[in-house]
């Protein structure tokens, strides 16, 4: 089956609202689980840690999330807004994309600059959510995690935007790649998956040339991943508790 090719970087967030609370959209990896700070630091060993955060189970768009990047010849851990705001936007969020397809980065006026400037970062996560469209046209949520690591990193790009009054926003978008067989079967309306980094590729992604960094990204082995259905409570961004990742009864 041929998968759709998306050669662009554009917003994938399409929220609706129920009782004032935003609910599920069609975006690939629009929500994820955040590990605690100590566990993330043991996995990524940043030279400088400027971030501060706690474990969360429902990270969503426009929230500040921890990220590791290369700065002044060392790794540093910072907080960034999830949803890329380009430098040219002068601090105006607009339609800030949560994700960018790897093959379309150079075609995008939003993403080309950060990519060519090697503004790459890693987002620490413990797992992420996707939705499967069933034969009954119901969107069943799934939780995805790795079997070989409790905490892992997603490849991302970042940019820095400054408004006329001097306010600075550093923001990021997750990079997506073609899906493996597991993701094709579960996230069956997306045609892509977030770029999960292998430990040996952390430094290449942060410090390598754009060509080297791109070569480090490929679909993660499905044999090292686990997916299972969960409660539709995750359809809202309001709940944030361990029960969200429990298998559906």
Q: What is the CATH number of the domain that holds 95?
A: 3.90.1680.10
Instruction: Tell me if 13 is assigned to some domain.
Output: no
Write out the residue range of the structural domain in which residue 39 sits.
Answer: 28-234
Please tell me the distance from the alpha carbon of residue 249 to that of residue 246, in angstroms, as a whole number.
9
Helix, strand, or coil (residue 158) = strand
Instruction: Tell me if 84 is assigned to some domain.
Output: yes
Instruction: Tell me if 110 is assigned to some domain.
Output: yes
Q: How confident is the model at residue 189 (pLDDT cuts 50, 70, 90)?
A: confident
pLDDT at 100: 93
Residue 133 has pLDDT above 50, yes or no: yes
101, 9 in Cβ contact below 8 A? yes
pLDDT at 249: 82
Instruction: Tell me if 161 is assigned to some domain.
Output: yes
Please tell me the distance from the alpha carbon of residue 205 to that of residue 214, in angstroms, as a whole number.
8
pLDDT at 20: 33
Instruction: Tell me if 9 is assigned to some domain.
Output: no
Mean pLDDT of all residues in 85-110 = 84
Lowest mean pLDDT among 94-108, 140-154, 209-223: 94-108
Residues 6+ positions from 87 with CB-CB distance below 8 Å: 113, 159, 160, 161, 162
Instruction: Tell me if 157 is assigned to some domain.
Output: yes
Helix (H) or strand (E) holding 156: strand 152-162
Instruction: Tell me if 78 is assigned to some domain.
Output: yes
With vertex at residue 13, the alpha carbon angle to CA 53 and CA 245, rounded to the nearest 5 degrees, is 50
Helix (H) or strand (E) holding 225: strand 225-229
Number of domains in the chain: 1
Please tell me the distance from the alpha carbon of residue 75 to that of residue 79, in angstroms, as a whole number.
13
Model pTM greater than 0.75? yes
pLDDT at 1: 31
Instruction: Tell me if 241 is assigned to some domain.
Output: no
230, 142 in Cβ contact below 8 A? yes
């Amino acid at each position: 089956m041929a998968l759709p090719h998306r050669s662009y970087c554009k917003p994938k967030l399409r929220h609706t609202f129920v009782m004032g609370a935003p609910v599920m959209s069609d975006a690939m990896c629009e929500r994820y689980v955040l590990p605690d700070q100590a566990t993330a630091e043991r996995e990524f060993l940043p030279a400088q840690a400027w971030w501060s955060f706690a474990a969360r189970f429902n990270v969503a768009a426009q929230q500040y999330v921890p990220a590791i990047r290369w700065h002044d010849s060392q790794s540093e851990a910072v907080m960034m807004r999830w949803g890329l705001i380009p430098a040219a936007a002068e601090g105006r969020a607009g339609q800030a994309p949560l994700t960018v397809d790897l093959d379309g980065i150079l075609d995008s006026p939003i993403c080309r600059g950060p990519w060519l400037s090697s503004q790459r970062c890693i987002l620490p996560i413990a797992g992420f959510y996707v939705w499967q469209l069933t034969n009954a046209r119901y969107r069943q949520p799934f939780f995805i995690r790795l079997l070989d690591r409790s905490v892992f990193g997603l490849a991302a790009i970042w940019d820095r935007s400054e408004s006329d009054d001097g306010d600075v926003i550093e923001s990021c978008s997750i990079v997506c790649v073609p899906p493996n067989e597991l993701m094709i079967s579960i996230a069956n309306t997306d045609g892509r998956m977030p770029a999960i980094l292998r430990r040996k590729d952390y430094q290449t992604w942060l410090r390598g040339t754009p060509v080297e960094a791109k070569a480090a990204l490929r679909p993660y082995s499905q044999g090292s991943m686990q997916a299972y259905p969960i409660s539709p409570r995750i359809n809202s961004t309001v709940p944030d508790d361990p029960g969200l990742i429990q298998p559906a009864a």
